[in-house]
Structure 1
Amino acid sequence: MRLATAAVAAFTSLISTAAADRAGHVYIIDQSNQPHSRDATDLDTLSPVSARLVLAQRAGVEDYHAADLESEGVLDAINEYGVKTPMFADGKDERRRKLNMMVLVEEAAQEDVEASKLNQYPSFAVSPAPGYTASRGLWIDLAKQSEPSIYGSLSDEEALEQLSKLPDSHVHDTFHISTSIDELQNLLNHEKITEKYTITAYVTPPGKYAQTGDGAWQWGSYSMPSTSADSQATLRKRSSSRPIAEAPLEDTSASSDSSFTTHDFTAPVAAEELHSNKKNTSTSPLPGILPQCFPSLSACQETTRNCSDHGSCYKKFTDNSASDTSRYRDCYVCGCKATVKETSSDGGKTTTYWGGSACQKRDVSVEFWMLALFSIGFVFLISFAVGSVWEMGGEELPSVIGAGVSGPSAKR
């Protein structure tokens, strides 16, 4: 009996160890919140799809991942680990909010994580964890979704090189890929970074499994900003799963066999091609979510289609704290201008005002003086009506109403 009990305990321990080796961990590090210790047995475990939705929501690009919102447990996971947005937040609250830094830490041993004291921050497990290739692809896609003007025209290799560098400016949400837990610890020890950013770190599991992952468990598919200017679809589907080779039904050429191993993502177009096709897409909706700042004048003009022909790009400010070679040093935005059109032959004109990041939104607000006069007139009309009814009710009734009316006579 004791031998059977010991065997069951050993088998259970082996299963738990194997499951831990196949699980990644996401840590939400915000120095403004008080750290708290948490028992490992109470740690929530999310599927890769649910974890991806949480990461996308924290990166502010959840619109590209909306297809999986109805999956089981996704909304509960976002409510628990996502960014909390106040219902009645004003502009000052938005400016005071911390920036997001999404950090991918590859192959960190459990003892290194415990030594770094990451367990004191809110966290959850991702099991079974996707492999390195899928995780790197997800981080590249999140960066392209968040900052299409910066990463959209880069290949995956170029974007990976950019994400491997530490940020030299602190005015944008940042994505970074780290190769060790020590590098993440250096970020946490950087006072300026912890003041500016809320860090969301995904630590992949160590070992051979993390290098390949489980083919049936990857991050899933989602939409990406369109990189084809003449495409009618504003979004394209992209899967972070590694392509799985299949046996062909018949003999095919070598080129068709290689389609299972090559990168099946749509290649970005060059800026010149995008600029040449701008005239053909001037009436189509702008794809994706436009950033508030563009790193260069050409990027602003190409991404916004020259401010939708309703204005022009200009330099709004320069971040002097950034290096001269930083892509975040300059901030170019659209300056919108009013459009005046003649409505009739007698010289009548209508003026249309524009707004939005690309001057693509029509301003339908009413002039202040018109709104003020209408409000004052409406209040005066209501006051006059109430006063008239009140004055009428305060008058005495005419005596003729009581004429001919008398009480019963007394009986004798």
Structure 2
Amino acid sequence: MRLLTSITVAALSGLAAAAASQQSADVFILDSKQQQQTSREVPRLPKEVVRHILLQRTSRDNYGSDLRDIPSSIDTEAAISFLVKYGKSPAPLFSQTETSDPSQLVVILEGITAENAGPLKESLAKSSQRAAFAISDPPSKVANDRLMSLFQNLGIAAPKQCDLVSAINPVNGDCWTGSSSVVKYDVQKSPEALDTLVDNLSRLNKFISSGDLEALLVLMPESSRSSKLNQWSVKAATGASDLRRRFNSETVIADDSVRGAANAATQPPVSRPTKSPLQTAAKKAIPQCFTSEKSCVDQTGNCSGHGQCVNKWGGKNGSTEAGGASCFVCKCLATMDNRPGAQAKGDKSLHWGGNMCQKEDVSMQFWLIAGSTIALIGAITFAIGLLFEVGEEKMPGVLGAGVVRGSSAK
């Protein structure tokens, strides 16, 4: 009997240890919509799907949309539904207007326990913010470091010296180089990071409620630190170049391509022309705000030469108030049209648009042509209708009587 009891206790202890080792990681999505769960049960997602959600929300080139490294054990349709539900909303397909999407922030906190996460979860609960989903199999610290290396190669990881107070401010140039930023802190080594997040949660909610920021908090449990899962994905890529290489590896090479590659190998390399600063800045993501006028001028090429950098949060004439925040953006102006034949046609000025004033604004010409076309079609339709109405009118009674008498006399 004692032997059976000891075996039962050992089995239960083993199950408890296995359950503790498989503790899930809660993920909170903080946005202006504040997604509410329809049920009390929090969905549990595999780490491979969560990795794609993080990439889709933060990467600028849609690296999170490639689901080829999802294991066959995971239903692809279910993975796509989770990506649509928890990922970033896609831009309209045929939209030509510039959309100011909120900046994306991902905060990964390692070493979370039930004790140290209590104040944070209580503060989130006061704001009616519950965990959006949980990672069913959180990987180890090694996997988290590799994931940060991937974000570093994509150019969206914040510097290691970036503190949490600066990270939650999307205007801060020390932690933000574009429209997204990813930071990671170890709560066991830096417990002040968790306290700082709790103290600045109201400040974070102000950026979120104004539509300037969306945040995703990943609470990695302490039990996952020594997990045997050393990758976020079975076929995890180590950087942006690996992702591009995987896409290019599926391209079929024709005979002409092989001959062209052989000829290119025998020819000396051709020197490529250097790109202008404006072309380099156009390929990079332009932040919504610049902290200084100099950074605005340098990164936008002085608004492409078609405008000027002004502080939209300043006072009159763009002046910055004492102690106030700065947000320098491009204000597009009209320029003289020096193209050949422009003066002869009567076109004296050009209007510009875009976040760098790099696009010609043709809305005036569009509405002029569209309005003239609609007016012309309306006039032609009215004239045709008027002709039909005149043709369908009956003849006067006097003319009708004359016709009847003439026919009776015959």
Q: TM-score range by the shorter chain?
A: 0.5 to 0.7
Equivalent runs, 1:289-368 vs 2, <5 Å: 289-308=285-304, 310-318=305-313, 329-333=326-330, 335=332, 337-338=334-335, 340-344=337-341, 347-348=344-345, 352-367=350-365, 368=367
Is 2:29 the partner of 1:28? yes
Q: Which residue type is aligned with residue 104 of structure 1?
A: I
Return the letter of the residue paired with 1:356: G
Q: So what's the TM-score if we normalise by structure 1?
A: 0.59
Runs of 5+ in structure 1 lacking a partner?
Answer: 146-150, 225-235, 240-275, 404-412
Q: Which residue of 1 aligns with 2:62?
A: 63
The SS at the match of 2:288 is: coil
TM-score (norm 2): 0.59
How much is the aligned-residue C-alpha RMSD, in angstroms?
5.0
Residues 12-411 of structure 1 aligned to structure 2 (within 5 Å): 12-20=15-23, 23-29=24-30, 33=34, 42-48=42-48, 50-59=49-58, 61=60, 63-68=62-67, 72=76, 73-83=78-88, 100-113=104-117, 116-117=120-121, 120-125=130-135, 127-129=137-139, 131=141, 132-137=144-149, 140=152, 144-145=155-156, 159-167=159-167, 169=169, 176-180=183-187, 183-184=193-194, 186-188=196-198, 190-197=201-208, 198-207=214-223, 209=225, 214-215=230-231, 217=233, 220-221=236-237, 277-279=274-276, 286-308=282-304, 310-318=305-313, 329-333=326-330, 335=332, 337-338=334-335, 340-344=337-341, 347-348=344-345, 352-367=350-365, 368-395=367-394
Aligned in 2, Cα 1:298/1:211: closer, same or farther, shift over 3 Å?
farther
Distance 1:163 1:277 in 2: 36
1:193 is matched by which residue type in structure 2?
Answer: L
Q: Quick one: distance in 1 between partners of 2:12 and 2:392?
A: 89
Are 1:163 and 1:175, in contact at CA under 8 Å, matched by a contact in 2? Answer: no
DSSP 3-state at the match of 2:27: strand
Change (3 A) 1:182 1:353: same
2:162 aligns to what SS in structure 1?
helix
In the alignment, is the contact (CA less than 8 A) between 2:105 and 2:168 conserved in 1? no
Structure 1 pair 182/108, CA: closer, same or farther in 2 (3 Å)? farther
Residues 165 and 195 of structure 1, relative CA distance in 2, 3 Å threshold: closer
* Percent of aligned pairs sharing the same letter: 14
SS in 1 for 2:338: strand
**CA deviation digits over 1:164-203, x for unaligned, max 9?**
4445856577655444377446535543332332431012
- Residues in 1 aligned to 2:227 and 2:321: alpha-carbon distance in whole angstroms: 38
What displacement does 1:214 show? 0.7
What residue is the counterpart of 2:258 in the other structure? Answer: none
Say whether the 8 Å CA contact 1:106–1:203 is kept in structure 2: yes
Question: CA 1:69–1:364 in structure 2 vs 1: closer, same or farther (change >3 Å)?
Answer: farther
Kept after mapping to 2: 8 A contact 1:65/1:222: no
CA distance in 1, matches of 2:338, 2:26: 58
For 2:330, what is the secondary structure of its paired residue? strand
Q: Which amino acid aligns with 1:78?
A: L
Indicate the SS of the match to 1:17: helix
Aligned equivalents of 1:286, 1:79: Cα separation in 2: 29
Question: Secondary structure of the equivalent of 2:287?
Answer: coil
Residues 334-362 of structure 1, C-alpha deviations (whole Å, 9 max, x = no match): 63544623435994576654322223333
| Structure 2 CA distance for partners of 1:43 and 1:113, relative to 1, 3 Å | farther
